[in-house]
Amino acid sequence: MNLRTIGAVLALSALLAPAHAQTEIQWWHSMTGANNTGVNELAARFNASQKEYKIVPVFKGSYPESMTAAIAAFRAGSPPHILQVFEVGTATMMAAKGAIVPVAKVMADAKEPFDPKAYLPTVTGYYSDSKGNLLSYPFNSSTVVFYVNKDAFKKAGLDPEKAPKTWKEFVAAAEKLKAAGQQCVYTTGWPAWMHIENFSAWHNVPIGTKQNGMGGFDTEFRVNSPLHVRHVAMLGDMAKGGLFTYSGRRNEAEARFASGECAMLTSSTGAQGTIGRTAKFAWSVNFIPYHDDVKGAPQNSVIGGASLWVMAKKPAADYRGVAKFFSFLSQPDIQMYWHTSTGYVPITLAAYEMTKKSGFYDKNPGHELAVKQLTNKAPTDNSRGLRFGNYVQGREVIEEEMEAVFSGKKDAKSAMNDAVRRGNDILRKFEAANK
Amino acid sequence: MEKRVVFRSAWLPYALVAPQIAITIVFFFWPAVQAGWYSFQLQDAFGERTQFVGLANFAALFSDANYLYSFKVTAVFSLLVAGSGIAISLVLAAMADRVVRGALAYRTLLIWPYAVASAVAGVLWAFLFAPSVGIVTFALRSIGIPWDWVLQGDQAMLLVVIAAAWKQISYNFLFFLAGLQSVPRSLIEAAAIDGAGPGRRFWTIVFPLLSPTAFFLLVVNIVYAFFDTFGVIDATTQGGPAGATQILVYKVYYDGVKAADLGGSSAQSVILMAIVIALTVVQFRYIERRVQY
């Protein structure tokens, strides 16, 4: 290549380069597999839609890992613009007033139109402060649903089209399944999320005082109520009787259902993709069971998943790009893309309607069921969500105590009392650290 | 004639050890001092507000029954890992030492597991013993043993001990084999001529001569069980079920890294540091005296 061609190439590339450098917006997330593809697609679509900003999605490991990385980055003075934080980290983020910028403020400062009423109340309620200001952007929200292996039901002489609605029916069905030779009758993913958090919301009983911690850090756990004890004791009895097989604290249970080993499963709506790919039997997605003697049940379930937090300490001009990106994410067609390709629920009512009209739910009833369960009734103080300081540890404590019941080491009452006592210690420490 | 090499320069010896000292300070002393400093503080996750709380972090730990339980778990775990690791590798080394043909192949194979990262070792064993799909689980169930370490604490402990000890056996094996090979043949032959059987020869001649090696391995294995087994636990039980495999170092990691509780985590690592120092001192002062070099 001679000098002249090099010169020509240089001149050409100078012409092609944009006149203004784009502002890069760093987005740290924890999405893997199909969800990761979705994240990259969202960023690509946003970047193609305008020239000023460029969203750069960076996978930073699991939820706790990316949160730890962001904390370290913040301490070092270079946090990302946007950080995806799982729901149990909400209180920690919220308490870090100097480290985050509330989404409501980001939108208002950038003069981006933003109407909180356009969103599903169960979703926004979880991430808003007591005055209703949205603190973080609800990105990927799921909830827990009840999966049934229809073939196993048929084999046990049960009606495969009628999944148990109440826990009474559930236990009766479980006994029949066991009698029919089912090795593992029922298992659950995310035990505390299902059997404490969603269980409480579904029965409209508090998990803790102060509206489940939404009203302030001086909250206390209430998971040793007679109803909670009764429910955990029931699970303990089922475990002893071979009706309930414990699989672990995360989503290990999902694979055991998908393989046909277990006939019933309660786990995240996000499991539908995996089950759909691997299950070699007919299955259905249903509302989680309830105790029919509890007044007002079923109420509505609560969400899990993660939200996007905007970090402080970035150049003021960058926040306009963040606001624009959030507006982009709220568009119904974008929401619909995310909802249908991942199994997370749509966060705006418009996106829900749009998906409904598209006929997607006729083929994938499970996706709609989650929305229906979340919006079953208008959320109460007990079912809006929860916000407990350092709930990463708190949930772990509850799960440890539940494991003690399932393995027969403790009775339900003393285990739940211990969970409350130990959980409250964590809450007090968090309160002291965030005065 | 003076045989020792003496540095005539006043600064050269210091300059030569300086890199080592610098590394020790940066990577050992500085973090240790920091941990000590943080252990007296209460801080929010992002480090925006820091309060000096004196011994409150320690007081909270020692009033927590679960933390005290974690001591018991750590003691049981370390003894099992160090004990079984040393005993099995001694047997293997004694066997390998007697092999004449293909000795190199045996030794190489026995050393291999040491090259496996502890997290990988954990995952391997977790797969073999997985409650629903594991081969070992299947075999155990078919002979009527209900295997479910996800819920049964004792089985979970057994699993992490096996995974942790398995990895360490290769390391121990290497040292024992070297020790065995340095035992003078003439001593053993003399004993054999005097009529001592293989067992007697081992316990009265070989084992005492191996005692420095065994002592060294005891120290190393205890420290290994205390600190390095973190990967095995994280990849398999993550401290569960119900805290049955939550050893001290795993709790330090969990509270500090995952739960962002720096003060509590630092207090725990200070305690852990004290324990290991105490253990090492005890080992050197009392056990080493019985060792024959």
The secondary structure of B156-198 as a DSSP string is HHHHHHHHHHHHHHHHHHHHHHHHHHTS-HHHHHHHHHTT--H
Mean pLDDT within A353-374:
92
Residues from chain B contacting residue A261 (CB–CB below 8 Å): 132
Do A265 and A144 contact (CB within 8 A), yes or no? Answer: no
Select the residue of A97, A390, A407 nearest B241 (Cβ to Cβ): A407
Tokens of A151: 């073939």
Residue B142 and residue B135: Cα distance in Å, rounded?
11
Please report the residues numbered 407 through 426 in chain A whose beta carbons come closer than 8 angstroms to any beta carbon of chain B: 407, 409, 422, 425
* Neighboring chain A residues of B242 at a CB cutoff of 8 Å: 400-401, 403-404, 407, 409
pLDDT tens for A33-91 read 878 999 999 999 999 999 999 999 999 998 888 998 999 999 899 999 999 999 989 99
Contact A403 B240 (CB under 8 A): yes
Q: Which residues of A touch B53 (CB under 8 A)?
A: 432
Which phi and psi angles does A345 have, rounded to 5°? Answer: -80, 150
Q: Which amino acid is at A286?
A: N
> How do strand B41-43 and strand A184-188 relate by DSSP bridges?
unpaired
**B contacts of A64 (beta carbons < 8 Å):** 257-258
**Least confident window among A17-26, A376-385, A387-396:** A17-26
Report residue B57 as tokens.
Answer: 């972090």
Q: Name chain B contacts of A247, Cβ cutoff 8 Å.
A: 131-132, 150
Q: Do A68 and B152 touch (CB under 8 A)?
A: no
Could you tell me which CATH class the domain A144-301+388-433 is placed in? alpha beta
Q: What are phi and psi of A192, to 5 degrees?
A: -75, -40
Chain A: nearest CA to B274, how far in angstroms? 25
What pTM was computed for the model? 0.87
- What's the pLDDT score for residue A202? 97
DSSP A344: P
Cβ–Cβ below 8 Å for A392 and B259: yes
Burial of A4 (0-12, 13-18, 19+ CB in 10 A): exposed
Q: What does each of the 293 residues of chain B score in pLDDT, given as a tens digit?
A: 556 777 788 888 899 999 999 999 999 999 999 999 999 999 888 888 889 999 999 999 999 888 999 999 999 999 999 999 999 999 999 888 887 788 888 888 888 888 888 788 888 888 898 887 789 888 988 888 888 889 999 999 999 999 999 989 999 999 999 999 888 889 889 999 998 888 898 888 888 889 888 988 988 899 899 888 888 898 888 888 988 999 999 999 988 888 888 899 999 999 999 998 888 888 888 777 766 66
Residue of A100, A259, A400, A422 to mutate for B, most B C-beta atoms under 10 A = A400
Of B46, B66, B151, the CB nearest to A422: B66
Number of other CB atoms surrounding residue A209 within 10 Å: 15
Q: In this predicted model, which residue has the larger pLDDT, A341 or A8?
A: A341
b/e A120-157 (16+ beta carbons within 10 angstroms → b): bbbbbbbbbeeeeebbbbbbbbbbbbbbbbbbbbebbe
Name the minimum distance, in Å, from the CA of B118 to any CA of chain A.
Answer: 19
Which of A96, A249, A407 is nearest residue B46 as measured by Cβ atoms? Answer: A96
- State whether B257 and A403 contact (CB < 8 Å): no
Per-residue three-class SS string for A260-317: CCEEEEEEEHHHHHHHHHHCCCCEEEECCCECCCCCCCCCCCCCEEEEEEEECCCCCC
3-state secondary structure of A216: coil
Query: How many H helices and E strands in chain B?
Result: 14, 2
Tally of residues, chain B: 293
Q: What is the spatial distance between Cα A185 and Cα A169, in angstroms, rounded to a whole number?
A: 14
- According to DSSP, residue A21 is labeled P
* Digit-coded pLDDT (tens) for A240-297: 999 999 999 888 899 999 999 999 999 998 888 778 888 999 999 999 999 999 999 8
* 62-81 of B, contacting A, C-beta below 8 A: 64, 66
Query: Which residue type is seen at A144?
Result: V
Determine the longest span between alpha carbons in chain B, in angstroms: 77
Q: Which residues of A381-419 are buried (b: 16+ CB within 10 A; e: fewer)?
A: ebbbbbbbbbbbbbbbbbbbbbbbbbbebbebbebbbbb
Domains and CATH numbers, chain B: 57-290 (1.10.3720.10)
Give the residue from chain B lying closest to A239, CA to CA.
B151
A112 near B CB under 8 A: no
DSSP string covering A51-97: SSEEEEEEE-SSHHHHHHHHHHHHHTT---SEEEEEGGGHHHHHH-T
A74 lies within 8 A of chain B by CB:
yes
Residue A407 near residue B242 (C-beta atoms within 8 A)? yes
Tokens of A277: 């790919």
Chain B touched by A184 (CB under 8 Å): yes
Question: A247 near A399, Cβ under 8 Å?
Answer: no
B247 vs A: CB within 8 A: no
Distance in angstroms between the alpha carbons of the first and the last residue of chain A = 67
Beta bridge partners of B131: none
Residues of B numbered 116-175 whose beta carbons fall under 8 angstroms of chain A's beta carbons: which are they? 131-133, 148, 150-153
- Closest Cα in chain A, distance from residue B155 (Å): 12
Residue with tokens 């990259």: A40
Q: In the prediction, which pLDDT does B293 show?
A: 61
Give me the residues paired with residue A148 across strands: A264, A284
CB pair distance less than 8 Å for B49 and A409: no
Residues 6+ positions from A63 with CB-CB distance below 8 Å: A30, A84, A85, A86, A89, A306
Chain A neighbors of B241, CB-CB under 8 A: 246, 400, 403, 407
Closest CB to A432 among B42, B45, B243? B42
**Phi and psi dihedrals of A423, rounded to 5?**
-65, -40
Rg from Cα positions in chain A: 23
Contact residues on chain A for B238, CB-CB shorter than 8 A = 249
CA distance B214 to B90: 9
Interface of B with A in 202-241 (CB under 8 A): 238, 240-241
Inform me whether the C-beta atom of residue B46 falls under 8 Å from chain A C-beta atoms: yes
| Cβ neighbours around A314 below 10 Å, total | 19
Question: Is A129 a residue whose pLDDT tops 90?
Answer: no
What is the Cα–Cα distance from A186 to A165, expressed in whole angstroms?
A: 15
Beta-sheet pairing, A144-149 with A262-268: antiparallel
- Mean pLDDT lowest among A103-117, A186-200, B128-142: B128-142
> What stretch(es) of chain A map to CATH 3.40.190.10?
19-142+303-374, 144-301+388-433
Residue A311, token pair as written in the block: 């970090």
Which residues in chain A have their CB less than 8 angstroms from residue B132's CB? 184, 247, 255-256, 259, 261
Question: What does the pLDDT look like over A309-346, one tens digit per residue?
Answer: 999 999 999 999 999 999 999 999 999 999 988 878 88
Return the pLDDT at A321.
95
pLDDT of residue B147: 86
CB contact under 8 A, B49 and A261: no
φ/ψ bin of A284: left (φ > 0), alpha (ψ from -120 to 50), beta (otherwise): beta
Q: Does pLDDT of A131 surpass 70?
A: yes
Taking residues A6-29, what's their average pLDDT? 67
Angstroms from B54 CA to nearest CA on chain A: 14
- Terminal-residue alpha carbon distance, chain B: 30
Name the superfamily (CATH) of residues A19-142+303-374: Periplasmic binding protein-like II (3.40.190.10)
Pairing state between β A262-268 and A184-188: parallel
